[in-house]
């Protein structure tokens, strides 16, 4: 397990259309089950907001949860989903082959009644 401090775990927020939809409409239990199964959850109810981050590749779910709760006071994390983004091979104009960077994403679902994360305010 990596010896990481809580400020080393969250690299940057992930801003995509799908993550913005999760922030606006939140997730309910049915949508969370679909997200766990790898399907698109859709937007029916506004219950629990979910935020997406790029995190350190060696970070665990509990480390991500602790980092979010320490960096953003007043937030209570309900669930963390992580996914590894494996590097892809790239060729640059016939020169030496390379690859993209290995990354890890985390979708953090907040508990009902928890304070929202200020980084995403006004987006």
In the chain, where are the structural domains located? 6-114
Beta strands in the chain (DSSP E): 10-13, 50-55, 77-85, 89-91, 97-99, 103-110
pTM for the model: 0.74
Instruction: Name the H helices within 26-116.
Output: 29-37, 61-71
pLDDT tens-digit series, residues 55-83: 999 999 999 999 999 999 999 999 999 99
Summarize pLDDT for 35-56 with one digit per residue, the tens: 666 555 554 444 678 889 999 9
CATH architecture of 6-114: 2-Layer Sandwich (3.30)
Report yes or no: 80 and 106 within 8 Å, Cβ to Cβ: yes
């Amino acid at each position: 397990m990596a010896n990481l401090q809580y400020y080393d775990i969250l690299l940057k927020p992930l801003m995509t259309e799908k993550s913005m939809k999760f922030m606006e409409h939140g997730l309910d239990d049915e949508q969370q089950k679909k997200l766990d199964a790898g399907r698109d959850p859709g937007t029916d109810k506004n219950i629990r907001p979910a935020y997406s981050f790029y995190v350190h590749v060696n970070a665990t779910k509990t480390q991500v949860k602790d980092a979010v709760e320490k960096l953003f006071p007043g937030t209570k994390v309900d669930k963390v989903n992580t996914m590894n983004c494996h590097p892809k091979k790239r060729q640059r104009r016939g020169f030496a082959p390379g690859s993209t960077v290995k990354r890890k994403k985390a979708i953090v679902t907040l508990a009902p009644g928890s304070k929202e994360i200020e980084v995403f305010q006004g987006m």
